[in-house]
Amino acid sequence: MENPTVHSNRFSQLALSIATCVLLFAMSAIAADVEFTLSPRETWIGSPAIMKIVVRGGSSIAVPILPRVEGVDFEVQAGRQTTSSMQISNGTVTRDSTTVINVMITPSRAGVITIPPITIDVDGTKFSSKPTSISTAVATTGDLLQAEVFGEGVDTWVGQPLTVTLRIVVKPFQSAEHRVTLGEADMWQFMNQDRCEFGPFTKSLNEMAQRRQRPAGREELIDGQSFLIYEIPATITPTASGVPDFSDVLIAWNYPTALTVQRGFFSRNNLSVSATKPIRTSASASGIEVRALPEIGQPESFRGAVGSFTLSATAKPIRVAVGDPITLTVIITDLSGTQPLDTMQPPPLAIPSLEASFRMPTAPLAGSIEGNKKTFTQTLRPTKLDIRQIPPIEFSWFDTTTGGYRTAMTKPIDITVVASEHIATDAILGAPTGTQSPMRQLTASEGGLTANVAPTLAMVRDDSSSLGAFTSGALLLAPPIACAALWLARRRSDRLRSDVSFAREQGAWSRASKRLGSGDGFAAIVGYIADRMNCPSGTLTRSEARECLSNANAPNELLDRVDQLLQQVERARFSANGKGEISTEIVAQARSCIQSLDKLDWRLARVVSGGSRS
């Protein structure tokens, strides 16, 4: 009789073999399957075609192996799309998974381009696409995109602020197959920010982005066709006569050319753009003519100011000795409140009447702006006793309302100049006033000359005790020094709590480092300058930041480096969703710039700019 235990073991082995066969059959039934599709086959230079790799099944999917082709850029799109499903039928569980990987193929030359096989490894098995080709051509803009700049107002003069508007006209994409027309919000998303140059309109776009806004579009009929209009305002100051040149304002679009249907949640079909073509256009001026300022009747004191102004001057102190400084303050007030005071030049001070009586610095004046006023300060030092007045200061401008030049002069400022005082040696030594110290003869003695004074213990003491005296003195001075150090630390702590300006200046570098950590290079640099200058946060423009650095005696190389970096960061800041990203290289450059800015004379900059702290 057969042993039951042996019979049980044979049955277990038989069951295990059957299960293994079933598992191997199931695995062979769900072996990975890979499908390659390329769309579109016809595209434009700079517009990618997409190779879609669909992997059904498979647990280990490697990164696709991309070929190298001259004039073509291959890039695996970030983010795989994976979906899984499970079905139960008659007690049988069936699982399925699908992974989609997109490879972007972007041509940079025209013609027919052969695309070699793209290979992908799935569970140790290599799958490759068949060799194929795409046709590329240069994209033409046609009537799809236009840009023009028009001005508000007439009779604009050189140097007069002019409100202009950038008008972007784009034709909405229409799909006859799906009976869909993209609206203004959808079309704006296809603006290619990286290839755009907005010029003077960058500031307005940055302000919108900070408020998480964008230019609103509207639909208009032009010659019987529907177009979308986007408008961006700005204020410019023309520097030359004639029609302003806006050719550096470039607008780029990835214009949609095809839609595709994608299955979404709950089996709903969603439409998405499957192909685009790059188009680009430059802006032209429309209805703007800038008139040149007349040369006839132009005063010698004219320095380019255009508008309507008043002039005033004060001096302190008005009683000084020869060679002592007098601070002359000249204030120019813009009556219209619209003039660009940041570019306004100071009135001429290098005039014979001033140079004959006063000594002045030769460095150019950098004025400070507050509201509609610009203040210039100059140090005057009288060179002789017979000076009675600071002569009138003359300032000229072109009046746009009358179309002629006007000149204003300050009133003479009366001053009193006295002779410099000389302090007698006896006064320094403390001798009584009005007495004369008798002349004393020095008598010879061993070791040198000794004054005829009564001997003291200090003169005959043993110097051997000097070391002990020094040690005793040091021990006596240690407690006062420690107390002074504690007092200074306590005073600094109290000042940090009570003086907002001082605390802000001390924390400028820390805040700049945090902004650099978040990738906002523009806010880091401009915010650091605003903290050191005690200016309101978020108000400094690129030109104002350059003026602050100039006031801090920054070298020209640093001025240009900071200005170019801010211009580069401004481009990266603006994007359709209001969140710009900058590279780690730009962040490193911004950090290097801030380290250089930390070495400047910010106290001088605040004094020159009329800051609240000196």
Q: What is the pLDDT of residues 504-556, one digit of tens each?
A: 788 888 888 888 887 777 788 888 888 888 877 666 777 788 888 888 888 88
> In this predicted model, what pLDDT tens digit does every residue of 589-614 receive, in sequence order?
888 888 888 888 888 888 777 644 33
Q: Averaged over 1-12, what is the pLDDT? A: 53
CATH of domain 299-418: 2.60.40
Rounded Cα distance, 412 and 541, in Å: 37
**pLDDT grade for 503, boundaries at 50, 70 and 90:** confident
Q: Averaged over 452-478, what is the pLDDT? A: 53
Q: Give pLDDT, residue 310.
A: 93
**pLDDT grade for 17, boundaries at 50, 70 and 90:** low
Q: Give pLDDT, residue 575.
A: 42
DSSP 139-175: ---TTSEEEEEEESSSSEETTS-EEEEEEEEEPPPEE
Could you confirm whether domain 31-137 is CATH 3.30.1120?
no
DSSP 361-397: --SPP--EEETTEEEEEEEEEE-STT--EEPPPEEEE
Q: What is the pTM of this model?
A: 0.52
Q: Note the residue count of the chain.
A: 614
Measure Cα distances from 305 to 237, 345, 515 in Å: 11, 8, 38
Domain locations along the chain: 31-137, 145-290, 299-418, 500-608
Q: What values do phi and psi take at 583, rounded to 5?
A: -75, 160
Rounded Cα distance, 218 and 254, in Å: 19
Radius of gyration of the chain (CA): 40
**Number of Cβ atoms within 10 Å of the Cβ of 159:** 21
- Is 299-418 in the same CATH topology as 31-137? yes
Secondary structure percentages of the chain, helix, strand, coil, to 5: 30, 35, 35
What is the DSSP pairing of strand 284-286 with strand 145-151? parallel
Does residue 574 carry a pLDDT above 80? no
**pLDDT grade for 11, boundaries at 50, 70 and 90:** low
If 0-12 CB within 10 Å is exposed, 13-18 middle and 19+ buried, where does residue 259 land?
middle
> In this predicted model, what pLDDT tens digit does every residue of 218-237 receive, in sequence order?
999 988 889 999 999 999 98
